[in-house]
Chains A and B, each alone.
Chain A
């Protein structure tokens, strides 16, 4: 919102709204340490009992596995460094330049809603063409492609972190630096950069979690021919063989690296970043007690997610809300505006679909001119794309419904009970910090005996979706304004009435945010959830848009199919965002936000 719109009320009491909400449970770092340790210990005991594993062999595979983890780690670091520089530059310019904001933020909004993994095959093909598929630079192509992919999974969230920190810098602090006329480098060093640090650190944790997910997925994707040596391809090879000992060794190494990073990097960094917090500084007595509390992580994570939900709701809706306010004439507000807004969506959807058809026509034409006619088999598959898209949408929707059925009661239960959040939350946090994609090989090779391929695909989709939903709902349930809760209690509202009148409505913004991000996760997971072949062994193959992209990548002459499928996916996602989520966002912001 432009600064000028704010009418200043000098007597407004200082904001202390959140002071009471966060201090509910404080599980110690010890709990999560134990839980983290449980994973490798579990593997080792499993090995010791000799059911499927032999300890000696697991140990024997550790060197290979650790080398592969190292490769993966280097990719992560490279991508993170890129993302950090990009986030600071892009976020700073988007926040500082008035004109920049209007263009840069909507662009980012689209970029982050697009399923980046879909672009991976295209990026590989492009880069491999550049570096050559054999010769001294051949290794660069897939490696660069994976770094680019991981970068895209890390960067947007960090950019928004920088952008929002700068935008939400309290007016008084901004004015204080204005009254003393701080300019240029000094302003950046003393005010702007420190202001971004706190969010940047939190968002970096999220970015790394997301990064591991995509890294493993990227490496699994290129398993064919082992283009990318790394922990993902190691795991998927071991599962394909099947070699349980090697798989266990890979898992242990991956967990070790993630745990080490958490304890040696993110926790100390998070404590340090606390100093750079500028919101929730209650006036009155110093709040030393809160800061000295070393446990912090869950509470901070929760308050981060809470803030994330608040800012997320405003942020994603902001371009849209602005659009709506520009279109609405000042006299015609309220009911009349709603149908108009809907026709706008439909028009937008129509334009996107038209653009999509034209793009596909152009691509097909270009391909025909430069690479000869499209093979008849590929043409048949291209005609199948709409049906595949429909199947994928249905699959994601079913997975979403199942996730919601699990996540909603779980989140409410954990948020409402301090005991449950003390014990349950660290466990869930540990599980969630582990990239679900690492388990895909076992799911595919292990469960395909018991589940139909459709069931396997659904299960993998769910692992890629559920955390977004769960953590958002949890944050929503925890951030229920204490005065609302007290008001409900003082009127004797409890049980189902409380649920229906107070809790669920207050959860609505979190539900919308969670749903959007969960769907985003779902679209990305499709790429490996519908199709996998390792060393020519077909392990999973169900009709869907992810399958089409994968087949297009794998098949000779499949590029038109791959590009068509990718475009179809992107356009569908954007249409669904515009037609379904953005209106819901607006509703969430207008009706259900309480602050």
Chain B
């Protein structure tokens, strides 16, 4: 069963010069236990798509279904991790993690226990009373993660969650997100990751939806069937990376940039 169905979705924004189409005819599914990545060049509407799915914004055309019910307004059961963390600077780490639970109207004792659990899951012990400004970027994104996980979402939405971090920190956090997702005791049923980093997508995801340049449309859906842990230096990994790269560089534009050898890659699925 599809957890999320994005069904022929268009989105355009009005501007002074008329409306600009951001994405056209987007269709794909997020299934149970899926780790799906969306990759595409800048401005192809990846992040906007994530916001449509969460219900922060409405599609211009088409429908998004969450558990077979159309998304209208902000949907419960999904939680977002933001690119620049979106932590409230005036709240402590504890209060930031409790943020979503307060909104759900949980009683304070329950909130306390839940917060403690996810603080420990994300390795934030000892920082409970610190303010976001006082901790490093990597720790901040852990808080973002803990805040999202604490409401026990079925789907974890991640909007370029590693792009504001330095490469080493990002690498470590990626592994942790993978482990969280594979842990059956822990919430997210499925993860939907938006990124412009092709290697990151292939390293983490089961499937990669490749979007074209603006207006974004689905170029291909690439199944990543490499065994985990994945070795970035393996030929198979490299081949997949190259295929996605070629899809993006050639698929979106009229003028081919004449790159890799297997440019006309297969389109699985």
Do A and B bind? yes
Chain A residues with CB under 8 Å of chain B are: 4-11, 14, 170, 172-173, 175-183, 186, 190-191, 194-195, 197, 275-278, 281, 283-288, 291, 325, 330
Binary A-proximity of B186-205 (CB < 8 A = 1, otherwise 0): 00000000101000000000
Q: Verify A277–B100 contact, CB threshold 8 A.
A: no
A–B complex contacts, Cβ < 8 Å, 18 sampled: A5-B14, A7-B15, A7-B43, A10-B160, A170-B84, A172-B85, A175-B80, A176-B87, A179-B54, A180-B100, A181-B103, A181-B104, A182-B102, A275-B131, A278-B90, A281-B133, A286-B136, A325-B16
A191 to chain B, nearest CB (A): 7
Contact A275–B90 (Cβ < 8 Å): yes
Interface string of B7-18 (1 = CB under 8 A from A): 000000111111
Counting residue pairs across A and B whose Cβ atoms lie within 8 Å, the total is 127
Q: Are A194 and B18 in contact (CB under 8 A)?
A: no
In the complex, B163 has a CB within 8 A of chain A: yes
Cross-chain contact A180 with B151 (CB below 8 angstroms): yes
Per the bound structure, the CA–CA distance linking A278 and B164 in Å amounts to 17
Contact A11:B89 (CB < 8 A) given known A281-B133, A283-B164: no
Who on chain A is nearest to B51 by CB? A175
CA distance A513 to B45 in the complex (A): 37
A9, B90: Cβ atoms closer than 8 Å: no
Task: Judge whether B90 and A8 touch: CB under 8 Å.
Answer: no
Q: Is the CB of A172 within 8 A of B86?
A: yes
Chain B residues near A195: list those with CB within 8 A: 90
* Cβ of B77 to closest chain A Cβ, rounded Å: 11
Query: CA–CA, A8 to B160, complex, Å?
Result: 13
List, in ascending order, chain B residues with CB within 8 A of A287's CB: 133
Asked if A286 and B90 sit within 8 Å, CB to CB, the answer is no
- Give per-residue flags for B29-45: 1 if the beta carbon is below 8 A from chain A beta carbons, else 0: 00000000000001101
B226 within 8 Å of A (CB atoms): no
Q: CA separation between A179 and B78, bound complex, in Å?
A: 8
18 more A-B contacts (CB under 8 A) besides A10-B196, A178-B56, A190-B91?
Answer: A7-B15, A7-B43, A11-B42, A11-B163, A11-B196, A172-B83, A173-B88, A175-B86, A176-B99, A182-B102, A194-B91, A197-B90, A275-B89, A285-B136, A286-B133, A287-B133, A291-B134, A330-B16
B166 proximal to A (CB < 8 A): yes
| B residues near A172, Cβ cutoff 8 Å | 82-86
Q: Which residues of B contact A194 (CB under 8 A)?
A: 88, 90-91
**Alpha-carbon distance between A283 and B100 when the two chains are bound, in angstroms:** 23
Query: Taking the complex as formed, is B220 at the interface, i.e. its CB lies under 8 A from any CB of chain A?
Result: no
- In the complex, whether B6 has a CB less than 8 A from a CB of chain A is no
Beta-carbon contact of A286 and B83 below 8 Å? no
Residues of B within 8 A of A181 (CB): 74, 76, 103-104
The contact of A175 among B46, B82, B102, by CB within 8 Å, is B82
Decide: A7 and B84 in contact? CB cutoff 8 A.
Answer: no
Closest 9 CB pairs of A and B: A172-B86, A180-B100, A10-B47, A176-B86, A194-B90, A11-B42, A283-B164, A182-B103, A180-B103
B54, B83, B89 pick with most chain A CB within 10 angstroms: B89
The complex places the Cα of A325 from the Cα of B79 at a distance, in Å, of 38
- Produce 1/0 per residue, B129-158, CB < 8 A to A: 001111111001000000000010000000
Given A11-B196, A275-B89, A276-B89: A281 and B80 within 8 A (CB)? no
CA distance A591 to B109 in the complex (A): 56
Chain B residues whose C-beta falls within 8 Å of the C-beta of A7 in the assembled complex: 13, 15, 20, 22, 43
| Contact, CB under 8 Å: A173 / B86 | yes
A278 touches B89 (CB 8 A): yes
Tell me the minimal C-beta distance from B86 to chain A in angstroms.
Answer: 4
Contact A14 B89 (CB under 8 A): no
Q: Which residues of A contact B54 (CB under 8 A)?
A: 179
Complex-state Cα separation, A127 to B146, whole angstroms: 59
